[in-house]
Structure 1
Amino acid sequence: MPETDMSEAATALPPVAEIFNPHSPEYMNDPVPQCLALAERGPIVWYEPWQAWIITRMEDVMACWKSEPLSSDFYDWEFAPERPPQDKWSNFERAMIGHSLLADHGHHRLVRKVVSPAFSRNVVDKIQEKIKPDVEKLFDELGTPETFDYIEEIAQHIPFISITRMVGIPEKYWPEIRKVILTFTETWNPTISDEQREAARQDCNKAIDIILKVIAERRAQPEQDDFLSTLLKIEEENENFEEWDIVTLVLALIGAGADTTLVAQQWSVYTLVQHKDQVATALASPDAFSNAFSEINRWGVSSKMGFARYAPEDMEFMGQQLRKGVMVLMMPHLKDYNPAYYENPETFDAERVFEPDAMFGYGPRFCIGAALAKRQLYLTMCELFRRFPDIELAEEPERDPDDHNAIVFKRLMVRTNA
């Protein structure tokens, strides 16, 4: 096509904001058309409503994860609150500035290296045995109702209980910490209001107070069989691994872990009850479910925003000139119904092959808690379908527009047929 014709064609395209709006009812009810339309606009697209660039292709997202040319530090965002001086830090700043999630790349790699044994297959197997009684207790208390709301009765409890039990937070602190830790992921979400972010920041300060109290108690009375005890041992053996690394790992595991796995709980049930012919395959083993969950995540397309990064300086990136501090969003979910990536993408296939499987990130930013998240999901799905093998949706669930980062349901009513 001649250059003039290409220019005219580009001019004729509607603004990106007209074809893509993750907060619209149309996106919540069926995100696929908007995701595919956005991906067709090119490998990196300017999105005016968020003042951000969006990376649309999986190969570019993976390259960005692997080489880390951009910053993951929220305070590097051009619209972030001013980075406070160290003598003005609250607990939140101590955790968020230079900590193990958003730290410089070298320290981040060190933390991953020293804590990786705490996420080994053997450890995950032991954690499953530890949380299994809690899962069974929830279902025992539920009984055999004709219908029930899976979110209210099961989903909203499982992630927090299982992750807190695994970390080693004493039950006496559960009611107090639950109130203030589940907004953790909102503290770095650039798309929410300043007021909402500040409220989440204050919640984090309160949650960190509790975590510090638990750490002090554990130092006085060491235990052996939980994640916190393991982290304290790692601290003793590694001079560059400090108490604030422990704080932020625990904060992320409970806060971010509970938030994301609550979404995963909903979509796992919603998907499997509609594909009961594949339940046995999906739940055949932890490894089988690990793969099936990647398919659940692909088939459901629950993401809204993706992963935020920020230009650390004025720079050229993917052929675009980025100003310092501009946000760049990586959106791997845009590929999930693209036939160029997946054969018959409309079909749910619990045995679909994912090579590579980058649902939980890739390279040095692969989610270190991925195995734990999938194992507690596996355990819960096994218990649900063991007790209610004939379970089905009682109604098509209404989407909840208020979640800041994902498509979730207001309620998930199921009929047990027990």
Structure 2
Amino acid sequence: MMTTTIPPLRYDPMDPSYAKDPYPLLARFREEAPVYYWEQGGGPVFFRYKDCIALMRDARLGHDPTLGAGFPQELKAAYPDFATLRENDLFMVPSEAHARLRRLLNPAFGPRAVEVHRPKVKAIIEGLLEKFPLEGVIDVSSDYTRQYPVRVIASVLNIPPNHEPEFIAFAESLISTIIPGLPPERFAACMPPVSRGMALVREIIADRRAHPMEDDLMTQLINACDEQDRLSDPELVSLVAGLLVGGTDTTYHGTNQTLLSLLQNPEQLAILRAEPSLARNAFDETLRYNMFGRVPFPRYATESFEFANVSIKRGQPVFMFLMSAFRDPEYLPDANVYDIRRQHTGTHWFGLGPHFCLGASLARMEAEIALQSLLARYPKIELAGEPVWGKHPIMRTMDKFPLRVSASA
């Protein structure tokens, strides 16, 4: 690609002011040019809605081709469990295998299928809230939104309660391994909990094969079958790992951003209090209005092609800045308005087509219950200080999110 034909993208995603509010900068980029070249990422970055959506639908873009090549032999030798886990990951398998896995898995993760888990999700979330004071300051990020997603996944998989700490350690270590630039010693420290977690999941798979359970996600996954084709044990273990990584962060960060957006738009918070059924819609509107990323979303060219007068080579990354796209006035004339009553025609922030987020329905249900339960317990909530933004290189995380709450009307 001729990088001289498009302007270079220059910005600091780690700038504290960007973490707090990236949208003025993104609007300037979007207005000045439709596409930039991002030297750090090694590919073009598209900012406008029509381009981003077209690229998300483009079959010539897929996962990073280097991932499908497998792990180096030295890594396999040093960390065989982790290598096996990742080589069966939905994000690493070839497109044909990906299509097969999605065909088997989709029925277990549809909106109706996940509704059976609502009582468990509600019990976990309300159990956390019961530990909070009726009056005072709570850190909603570390003590609430960070806590329930992993416990929900453990519950719907019916992980035995005595193994929950081990399962949570497995999740935390897995999430750490996806941080770009993780020092080798920190990566190595994550491996023992990962190996123990994988062994635990294998034990539970074996037990559940012998003793199936009703309304149990693990049993449903074990029984998932299409023309006698079933998930293998390595695929099942890898799927659980993928749920822990993807299902935890989206819900955690998305719920934080929803609460922050509601507090920054008090008229919308008042609407939600009056109509709690809008909680899921509030979560969707927040993912459109205030996504939690720092950097654009990548896909990789499976063949060379030209798009919007930009030549893209096979294997090259193509970036879509969805945070910009969903604030594009060509998408919504009032895109900068936060409106939890907005009727969305889709949930593109969860992906499109074969790359649509597998756990989207579960994440939306969790966020819905988390928002409804928090607001029901506390008729009064307000910021008790500015959120403390973390230094995660990919996501705008809130290390601290202090709220002053009161159970008195």
**TM-score of the aligned structures, taking structure 2 as reference length:** 0.86
**Matched residue of 1:21: which SS?**
coil
Q: Displacement, 1:173? A: 2.0
1:37 lines up with 2:17 in the alignment: no
Question: What residue in structure 1 maps to residue 406 of structure 2?
Answer: 417
Question: What residue in structure 2 maps to residue 51 of structure 1?
Answer: 42
Distance 1:204 1:47 in 2: 34
**117-126 or 82-91: bigger deviation:** 82-91
**Matched residue of 2:340: which SS?**
coil
Distance 2:302 2:244 in 1: 29
1:67 lines up with 2:52 in the alignment: no
Structure 2: where are the runs of 5+ without partners? none
CA contact (8 A) 1:101 1:248 kept: no
1:272 lines up with 2:262 in the alignment: yes
Percent sequence identity over matched residues?
Answer: 25
1:405 lines up with 2:394 in the alignment: yes
Aligned residues: 400
Deviations 1:326-349 (A, max 9, x none): 333232111233323223333211
Counterpart of 1:65, as a letter, is M
Counterpart of 2:9, as a letter, is V
Question: What residue in structure 1 maps to residue 184 of structure 2?
Answer: 195
**168-177 or 376-385: bigger deviation:** 168-177
Question: What residue in structure 2 maps to residue 139 of structure 1?
Answer: 129
Q: Displacement, 1:37? A: 3.0
CA contact (8 A) 2:47 2:324 kept: yes
Counterpart of 2:17, as a letter, is E
Question: What residue in structure 1 maps to residue 378 of structure 2?
Answer: 388
Residue correspondence of structure 1 range 71-150 to structure 2 within 5 A = 71-73=62-64, 75-76=66-67, 83-84=72-73, 90-150=80-140
Question: What residue in structure 2 maps to residue 243 of structure 1?
Answer: 233
**TM-score of the aligned structures, taking structure 1 as reference length:** 0.84
Q: Displacement, 1:123? A: 2.6
Q: Displacement, 1:132? A: 1.4
Question: What residue in structure 2 maps to residue 4 of structure 1?
Answer: none
Identify which of 16, 19, 23 aligns with 2:14: 23
Identify which of 318, 338, 355 aligns with 1:365: 355
Distance 1:341 1:94 in 2: 42
**Matched residue of 1:49: which SS?**
coil
Counterpart of 1:27, as a letter, is Y
Deviations 1:251-302 (A, max 9, x none): 111222112211112112212233343346447466x333321211233232
Distance 1:240 1:229 in 2: 12
Please tell me the root mean square deviation across aligned C-alpha atoms, in Å: 3.1
Q: Displacement, 1:200? A: 8.2
Structure 1: where are the runs of 5+ without partners? 1-6
Counterpart of 1:404, as a letter, is P
1:179 lines up with 2:169 in the alignment: yes
Question: What residue in structure 2 maps to residue 349 of structure 1?
Answer: 339
Distance 1:60 1:84 in 2: 39
Question: What residue in structure 1 maps to residue 202 of structure 2?
Answer: 212
CA contact (8 A) 2:67 2:92 kept: no
